Amino acid sequence: MKHKDGLDTAAVLLLLLVALVVMIVPVAMVSPQWLIVPFVLVAIALGTLWYMRRRLRTYVAAQLCSTDFENSRIQYSLTGLPIPTMLVADGRILWYNTFFREKVLQGSDAVTRPVDRVFPDLDLAVCSRPHGQDLTVGDRRFTAYAGSAKGSRGASIVYLVDDTFYKQTLEEYTESRPACLIIVIDSYDELFDDMKDSEQAKELEAINSLLETYIGRSTGFLRRVSNSRYIAVVEERDVRWMIQERFDILDKVRALHPGGLTTLSIGVGHGGKTLQECHQMARESIDIALGRGGDQAAVKTVDGFEFYGGISHGVEKRSHVRSRIISRALCDLIKKSDSVIVMGHRMSDLDAVGSAIGALRICKMCGVPAVIAINSDATLAGPLLKTFLDAGCGKDFITPDQTLEVITPNTLLIVVDTYQVRLLESQKIYEKCKRVVVIDHHRMAVGHIDRPLLLYHEPYASSASELICELLQFMPKEGNITPLEAQALLAGIMLDTRSFALHVGVRTFEAAAWLRSRGAQTAETKLLFNTSKEEYEARAHIVESAYIYKGCAIALSGELDAGMNVVLPMAANDLLTINGVDASFVAVAKNGGVNISARSMGALNVQVILEPLGGGGHLMMAGAQLQNCTLDAAEHKIREQIDLYRASQAANAAAAHIH
């Protein structure tokens, strides 16, 4: 019936056309003004054609795609093929078989229509490749293959293989891969110890119901496995939205208390081959999340770790018992060694050298030969080193290369004040020493020393010197540190706490009091921080040039004279004393790169801000060294990270407001 309509229309149109031609010639000759009539008629004809194009197409399709093929062997061979097939020429659809009409076009017609209108995603060039092209039409999924049709010039044949089932299955497979989450309530014991049972129950119920709703959104389940620990097994699709929402459960739990008392840490393992592997990855992730101070999510991926959150202060969580155990274990390890090398981070500072001196004392008390490996020409602790050299302790300090000859398989390396391989004073020593101990207080970051024999890592301690003090206090009184050594350790603590202003806990004062009892003089210690007049001037100059951006002081400076490195961190400290400054960033050009020192009063986490730039450190003290970078680029990067940080802070405040 439809086809007949099409035929009628065509006949009518043809008649109209003939009538037109017959009319135009005499009219044009006699009275040209009447030419308007044929033009109107042409317009009507075209309009009708446009209006009827659908039916016309159906008609043409019926003519072309019918089952009689007097003229085409291609069509003949393709019609019987049980695969949807079409012929395309000059970007238009020329022909298709009945399967195509039914399966792909759902019974409608598309002959003569442009291919890119009917299938906007179809790319013939891509289809011609061996793997074809993925094509979605309606709710069906196809793979389209194309080839040139022999015998019909320039035309291509397009086959569509309907693999909806396989593609959906594959998608479902990837989406439903297992993933594991380990969730820990940070400082659970400290938090719940002083609470009444009823308060505990209320607190737990709030956390539980938040967690249950969160995991309830997923396809998986949640189990509490110990007082402070939960395990959730979910699917890849869930991890995706969790990452997309940047684990906002952290914010919700933090918002339970105005002061952010309750926080969570989450370790995520996904993408592993088995559930077991994912669980292992989640365990590694939670370790690093806790090692960085908690209140954050760590996700282990193939390329390493990614971190989300982590904007609040950690809660101090240490015990004397642990220090005693570590102290004994360290002594055992030292006594089992032929020799010990103590080493800090590159560009050693008072804390690195001070804690190294303390560690050296432990070795001496264990009766094992030991040295400190240090580059005395690249140090920020010049005055301290000089004091020791003047006191006749020169043989305790040797350059890293000199130690290489004496290293045996039984040499112990004690790394202090850093946990990162790339920041070590000497990579060579690290590579050569099989047995390593790490004593550090920095938040853990990617690229840390792998599997040390012993790890004394307390992100809540003020300094490495404080940690060493704790260990020394469990050693016998006789033969313990000398007054000069006590001074070195005190200097280390004072440096990292900015003279007891920041990051001090009860334990810091305990350590300082003990050092005092061992003969450390505060006034003399303070002298170790003195600088030359030139350094003082350079520092004042940098401070002068600073400007405030979103509550952060930013100062830039060209290259400083050699040996003036200490000016950079000192200027950053100075800037913090300005009213209304939450954090300071000082960037100084150095050997074609830029060194950055950042300090904060605690309202901002400068570690989080500098980590994307390849730096790190602490909540209140961080640094970064950018290679091949101009000052302008460094400034831009710093401001970019401040923007991001401030934005996430604002988002957090909003979340806290809702609760």
Ligand X SMILES: Nc1ncnc2c1ncn2[C@@H]1O[C@@H]2COP(=O)(O)O[C@H]3[C@@H](O)[C@H](n4cnc5c(N)ncnc54)O[C@@H]3COP(=O)(O)O[C@H]2[C@H]1O
Binding-site residues for Mn(2+) = 345, 349, 351, 417, 441, 496
Q: Which segment (347-355, 378-386, 583-591, 622-630) binds Mn ion by CB under 5 A?
A: 347-355
Q: β-strands 552-557, 221-226: how paired? A: unpaired
Evaluate whether 616 touches 610 at the Cβ level (below 8 Å). yes
Three-state SS for 170?
helix
User: At closest approach, how far in Å is the CB of 124 from ligand X?
Assistant: 51
C-beta closer to ligand X: residue 57 or 618? 618
User: At closest approach, how far in Å is the CB of 322 from ligand X?
Assistant: 21
C-beta closer to Mn ion: residue 463 or 557? 463
Q: Tokens standing for 466?
A: 């404080």
Q: Tokens standing for 656?
A: 């806290």
User: At closest approach, how far in Å is the CB of 546 from ligand X?
Assistant: 15
Pick from Mn ion, ligand X, none: which does 616 bind, CB < 5 to 8 A by kind?
ligand X
User: At closest approach, how far in Å is the CB of 495 from ligand X?
Assistant: 5
Three-state SS for 659?
coil
> How big is the CA angle at 491 (ends 485 and 492), to the nearest 5 degrees?
95
Pick from ligand X, Mn ion, none: which does 109 bind, CB < 5 to 8 A by kind?
none
Asked if 440 is part of the footprint of Mn ion (rule: CB under 5 A), the reply reads: no
Taking the mean position of all CA atoms in its chain, how far away is CA 162? 39
Pick from Mn ion, ligand X, none: which does 310 bind, CB < 5 to 8 A by kind?
none
What does residue 559 show for φ and ψ, rounded to 5 degrees? -60, 140
Cα(329)–Cα(160) distance, integer angstroms: 69
Side chain identity, residue 430: Y
C-beta closer to ligand X: residue 184 or 384? 384
User: At closest approach, how far in Å is the CB of 575 from ligand X?
Assistant: 12
Pick from ligand X, Mn ion, none: which does 425 bind, CB < 5 to 8 A by kind?
none
Contacts with Mn ion: how many residues (CB under 5 A)? 4
Cα(405)–Cα(414) distance, integer angstroms: 17
Pick from Mn ion, ligand X, none: which does 38 bind, CB < 5 to 8 A by kind?
none
User: At closest approach, how far in Å is the CB of 462 from ligand X?
Assistant: 9
Return the residues of window 481-520 that contact Mn ion according to CB under 5 A: none
Return the residues of window 390-429 that contact Mn ion according to CB under 5 A: 417
User: At closest approach, how far in Å is the CB of 610 from ligand X?
Assistant: 7
Pick from ligand X, Mn ion, none: which does 384 bind, CB < 5 to 8 A by kind?
none
Site residues (vs ligand X, CB under 6 A): 345, 349-351, 380, 417-418, 420, 423, 442, 495-496, 529, 566, 569-570, 573, 597, 614-617, 621-625
Pick from Mn ion, ligand X, none: which does 566 bind, CB < 5 to 8 A by kind?
ligand X
User: At closest approach, how far in Å is the CB of 177 from ligand X?
Assistant: 33
Q: β-strands 156-162, 140-148: how paired? A: antiparallel
Pick from Mn ion, ligand X, none: which does 294 bind, CB < 5 to 8 A by kind?
none
User: At closest approach, how far in Å is the CB of 351 from ligand X?
Assistant: 6
Cα(549)–Cα(551) distance, integer angstroms: 5
Binding residues: 345, 349, 351, 417, 441, 496
Q: Which segment (344-352, 442-450, 547-555, 601-609) binds Mn ion by CB under 5 A?
A: 344-352
Q: End-to-end distance of the chain based on CA atoms, in angstroms?
A: 67
C-beta closer to ligand X: residue 59 or 419? 419
C-beta closer to ligand X: residue 104 or 455? 455
Nearest alpha-carbon partner for 439 in 312, 363, 330:
330
C-beta closer to Mn ion: residue 348 or 652? 348
C-beta closer to ligand X: residue 84 or 617? 617
Pick from Mn ion, ligand X, none: which does 622 bind, CB < 5 to 8 A by kind?
ligand X
C-beta closer to ligand X: residue 218 or 641? 641
Residue 313 DSSP symbol: P
What does residue 227 show for φ and ψ, rounded to 5 degrees? -50, -45
Three-state SS for 325?
helix
Nearest alpha-carbon partner for 623 in 565, 569, 581:
569
Q: Tokens standing for 125?
A: 């060039």
Cα(360)–Cα(468) distance, integer angstroms: 10
**Secondary structure, 3-state, 409-463:** CCEEEEEECCCEHHHECCHHHHHHCCEEEEEECCCCCCCECCCCCEEEECCCCCC
User: At closest approach, how far in Å is the CB of 464 from ligand X?
Assistant: 8
Asked if 351 is part of the footprint of Mn ion (rule: CB under 5 A), the reply reads: yes
Pick from 349, 425, 470, 611 the residue near Mn ion by CB under 5 A: 349
Give the burial class of 548: count Cβ atoms within 10 A of its Cβ; 0-12 exposed, 13-18 middle, 19 or more buried. middle
Nearest alpha-carbon partner for 314 in 356, 248, 265, 266:
265
Q: Which segment (135-143, 223-231, 267-275, 350-358) binds Mn ion by CB under 5 A?
A: 350-358
Pick from ligand X, Mn ion, none: which does 473 bind, CB < 5 to 8 A by kind?
none
Q: Which contiguous run of DSSP H or E holds residue 361? A: helix 350-366
User: At closest approach, how far in Å is the CB of 300 from Mn ion?
Assistant: 28
Q: Which segment (117-125, 200-208, 343-351, 611-619) binds Mn ion by CB under 5 A?
A: 343-351
C-beta closer to ligand X: residue 518 or 539? 539
C-beta closer to ligand X: residue 270 or 345? 345
At which residue do the structure tokens 């004394």 appear? 456
Count CB-CB contacts under 10 A for residue 350: 30
User: At closest approach, how far in Å is the CB of 441 from ligand X?
Assistant: 7
Cα distances (Å, whole numbers) of residue 272 to 179, 276, 446: 8, 8, 19
Asked if 352 is part of the footprint of Mn ion (rule: CB under 5 A), the reply reads: yes
Give the burial class of 326: count Cβ atoms within 10 A of its Cβ; 0-12 exposed, 13-18 middle, 19 or more buried. buried
Q: Tokens standing for 106?
A: 């759902």
Count CB-CB contacts under 10 A for residue 210: 18
C-beta closer to ligand X: residue 109 or 535? 535
Asked if 381 is part of the footprint of Mn ion (rule: CB under 5 A), the reply reads: no
Q: Which segment (346-354, 441-449, 453-461, 536-544) binds Mn ion by CB under 5 A?
A: 346-354
CB within 8 Å of 571: residues ≥ 6 apart: 539, 542, 543, 555, 557, 586, 597
Pick from Mn ion, ligand X, none: which does 299 bind, CB < 5 to 8 A by kind?
none
The region that residue 309 occupies, defined by phi over 0 for left and psi between -120 and 50 for alpha, beta otherwise, is left
Asked if 466 is part of the footprint of Mn ion (rule: CB under 5 A), the reply reads: no
Pick from Mn ion, ligand X, none: which does 624 bind, CB < 5 to 8 A by kind?
ligand X
C-beta closer to ligand X: residue 239 or 624? 624
Cα distances (Å, whole numbers) of residue 536 to 462, 468, 533, 639: 26, 31, 5, 27
Please give the residue ranges that form the binding site for Mn ion (CB under 5 A): 349, 351-352, 417
